[in-house]
Amino acid sequence: MNRSSQEPDPALPRRVLRPARPAGTRVTVGAVEVGGAAFVVAAGPCAVETPAQLSEAAAAVASAGAHLLRGGLFKPRTSPYAFQGLGEPGVALLERARSRHSLGLVAEVLDTEQLASLIDHVDMLQVGARNMQNFTLLKALGKVRRPVLLKRGLAATFSEWLLAAEYLLDGGNEQVILCERGIRTFESATRNTLDLASVALAKARTHLPVMVDPSHATGNRELVIPMALAAAAAGADGLLVEVHPRPEEALCDGAQALTPDMFEDLMRRLPAVLHAVGRSLHARPVPAANVRVL
């Protein structure tokens, strides 16, 4: 290749790198800001299942202090015979939970067709691990004005993760949050291997906020709290945690869902760790923040 020495290397990220915005990016999601000193917690069920389940989950996470409600409508399932999610009918359930509990909404978008039906109803669009290199989707999300939570692919290198985010920024969307959710390794005692060093490295090399999903990373609710605290100590800007009112009945990933009591315990223990590293838990939005114009 005859690139002149002036041209940047097309294989490397540019816009996501720290020097492009030394002070760091802050992403506003609903009524909270991710990437500043305040730490943000998104919690909720893996999948929206029923009105009662979502309503209980939302009440539980809000009362424990969560800022955002996560809940999957379209579930990417390994098997075609597994529960595929409620789909669009679930949107109304999420919106009701948002208005009742002042919780911003985070939901996964699987493809460009779903984008239209989700974008005006959620506060952040999640790109799942399996879609981290779905470049069609990334290009579409680069053109919208809605924050994107970009999960690291389960076998994505650090560099590939940054380049996936680069697609979003290069497309024009600068409201991007990285999310580490465990990588696939030989170890099978946990569902995945949580790579917290990549969180510290992402904070150092990029200007983007970084959240951590200890639920998918471990696949085991017993390990979620220690990993959540570790993520906070490692410099993450927030958490994405699965909480289910009755995990044993969950249609999806029940083993990794915290019970409401465990989530409360986590939220009680987080502030001290955050304080130890010079951070604090983000304030809960007051009901007024509830009045929301899209």
- Using CB under 8 A as the binding rule, whether residue 293 contacts its own copies is answered as no
Q: Cα(180)–Cα(106) distance, rounded to whole angstroms?
A: 16
- Using CB under 8 A as the binding rule, whether residue 119 contacts its own copies is answered as no
CB 122 within 8 A of CB 106: yes
Q: Cα(250)–Cα(50) distance, rounded to whole angstroms?
A: 11
Q: Which helix (H) or strand (E) holds 225?
A: helix 221-234
Among 26, 63, 76, 115, contact with its own copies (rule: CB under 8 A): 76
Q: Which of residues 16-75 bind its own copies (CB under 8 A)?
A: none
Stretch that binds its own copies, among 18-26, 64-72, 194-202, 280-288 (CB under 8 A): 194-202
- The length of the chain in residues reads 294
Stretch that binds its own copies, among 40-48, 80-88, 100-108, 282-290 (CB under 8 A): 80-88
Helices of type H across 72-111: 89-101
Stretch that binds its own copies, among 23-31, 42-50, 63-71, 190-198 (CB under 8 A): 190-198
Report strand pairing: 104-108 vs 124-127: parallel
According to DSSP, residue 201 is labeled H
Smallest separation (angstroms) from its own copies to the CB of 93: 22
Q: Which is nearer to its own copies, 243 or 251 (CB)?
A: 251
Q: Which of residues 212-241 bind its own copies (CB under 8 A)?
A: 217-218, 220, 222-223, 226-227, 229-235
Helices of type H across 148-190: 158-171
Smallest separation (angstroms) from its own copies to the CB of 119: 16
- Using CB under 8 A as the binding rule, whether residue 183 contacts its own copies is answered as yes
- Using CB under 8 A as the binding rule, whether residue 133 contacts its own copies is answered as yes
CB 118 within 8 A of CB 92: no
